[in-house]
A and B are shown apart, each in its own frame.
Chain A
Amino acid sequence: MENAIEVIDLVTYYGDRKILKGISFSIPMGMTTVIVGGSGCGKTTTLKHLIGLLRPASGSIHIHGKDIAAMDNASLDEYRKKMGVLFQGAALLNSMTLAENVALPLREHTKLKGSVIDIIVRMKLDLVGLSGFGDFFPVQLSGGMKKRAGIARAMAMDPVIMYFDEPSAGLDPVTAAGLDELILKLHSVFKMTVVVVTHELPSIFKIADYVVMLDEGEVSFVGSLDEFKKSDKAIVRTFIERRAVEESISPDNYFKIITGT
């Protein structure tokens, strides 16, 4: 099994706080990998490293054999043209219509004629079920439609890797299920590597081929979906069975917190 992404000993800080504590994992090519974990475990931070928005304090991120952590900005931009990202809130540019949003990467990075770009835009919008919505502005759309439009924009340059940051966040279960179907459809049609960050169990079970689980900045599980389901690791069981975990604070630390020392 060939790997699309290899993360080796990735360490990152926010200020003095160590967020990722030397994580290493691989993401297989052509599969849907889901990065899971509870809130604050570092999964969104990991995603930001994979798309080159953050630079690690140490460690490397090899994508198709090239270390993006060591790349200069120009090379990083070249890599970004081959990937697509759907952000949590879709992150469409509010000042532009959907069609202009989808056309944006094409206008910036290619020398295609306007008429050709228009056709590609219509195709991409049709792909995500938004035919006829090209002239709408993002504020005129529902949350689910915005995410679909975000996917259309991310697909504009025919990426080889697609990243999704919490695609079901803020959506009702039916819309979220529709989005999962769309991810599956895109994956089966375009055979690209898909990386999804989520903590929604129904999504994980529906779309994942491979699972990477993070916990407090460390990798706690890596394996296929079946292995994930069958794993007897306490942390995996707790996550799958949705059991509440009491946050453990030692008496000394608790004393420090309430006295403010």
Chain B
Amino acid sequence: MQQIVENILGSSGRKTLSLLKHLHAISVFINEVFYWTVISPLKGKPPRIRATISEMVKTGYESVLVVVVIAFFVGAILALQSAYQLRKFGAMLYVANLVGVSITRELGPIITAILVAGRSGSAFAAEIGSMRAQEEIDALVSMGINPVRFLVVPKLIALMVMQLSLTTLFDVVGMFGGFFLAVTLLEVNAVSYFNQTVIALQISDLVTGLVKAWAFSVVITITGAYQGFQVNAGAEEVGRRTTASVVTSIFLVIGFDLFFTALFYYFT
């Protein structure tokens, strides 16, 4: 009996300590990212511009095609699903409202974030992880170069800009997908659909979506980079951390989405 109690207490104690250690490491990491992104430029040490632009190309420009295709499909699917219900009431024109509002407020930011987490978040974890495994991070430190400033800050700034751009692109193409489907398959008048979208959409819908997108970019970069820095040994751990970065990012993105949606529901 005593053994069982000891085991239970021992195991829960170890788990708590490990969790606290993890939380401490994450807090230190976030603090460091914040310092090198916000405080350090004020002290005259600006971020690496060329690396930031190169990251923008990798994370943003190279994602354009996949975002465009998926956005178009999502817009079309959404229009069809809305029409499925709305035709019962003869309110096909309101497809425009549903497509416009749900894409700008919800689907645009979240699907873009999931795509970016899978594409760029995992790439951050793999890149930093393999640099850890091959002592490249140690080499940076030994040269007096802070790896967070050198590697994470350009990625963060790039993703903050590109996540907003990709989400905006998703919004536009997604609404066009809905429009295209509505005017062709559903035979809604094109001008009426366009006018209905303009009436339905408010600036706050766009802004709330973009605020979410910005928050997701921070979540994805920090998760991917943090997982990368946790690598200690070989290739197997790089793979494991890369997978963990995608799963954690998607989980956190959806968690933050719920938080922001609840916040905007009450305050807009």
Contacts and interface: CB of A to CB of B under 8 A. Distances in A.
Interface of A: 48, 51-53, 77-78, 80-81, 83, 85, 87-89, 91-94, 104-105, 108-109, 153, 157
A91 B145 CA distance: 14
A52 B142 CA distance: 8
B144 interface: yes
Contacts of B143: 80-81, 85, 104-105, 108, 153, 157
11 contacts: A52-B141, A77-B146, A81-B143, A87-B135, A88-B135, A91-B135, A92-B136, A94-B134, A105-B144, A108-B150, A157-B143
Nearest to B142: A85
Nearest to B143: A105
B144 A85 contact: no
Interface residues of B, number: 14
Given A91-B135, A93-B136, A109-B144, 6 more contacts: A77-B146, A81-B144, A83-B142, A93-B131, A93-B139, A108-B143
Contacts of B139: 85, 87, 91-93
B237 interface: no
Contacts of A157: 143
B205 interface: no
B134 A89 contact: yes
Contacts of A53: 138, 141-142
A51 B144 CA distance: 10
A91 B136 contact: yes
Contacts of B136: 91-94
A80 B138 CA distance: 12
| Interface majority SS (helix, strand, loop, mixed), chain B | helix
Nearest to B138: A53
Interface in B136-164: 136, 138-146, 150
A190 to B, nearest CB: 18
Nearest to A163: B142
Contact of B135 (A77, A83, A89): A89
A21 to B, nearest CB: 23
Interface in B56-98: none
A199 to B, nearest CB: 18
Contacts of B144: 77-78, 80-81, 105, 108-109
A80 B134 contact: no
A157 B142 CA distance: 12
Nearest to B145: A108
A83 B146 CA distance: 16
Interface in B104-143: 131, 134-136, 138-143
A95 B144 CA distance: 19
B27 to A, nearest CB: 17
Most chain B CB within 10 A, of A48, A104, A108, is at: A108
A88 to B, nearest CB: 7
A108 B143 CA distance: 9
Interface in B141-196: 141-146, 150
Nearest to B140: A93
A105 B135 contact: no
Contacts of A89: 134-135
B141 A105 contact: no
A107 to B, nearest CB: 9
A91 B141 contact: no
Nearest to A85: B142
A174 to B, nearest CB: 25
A228 to B, nearest CB: 28
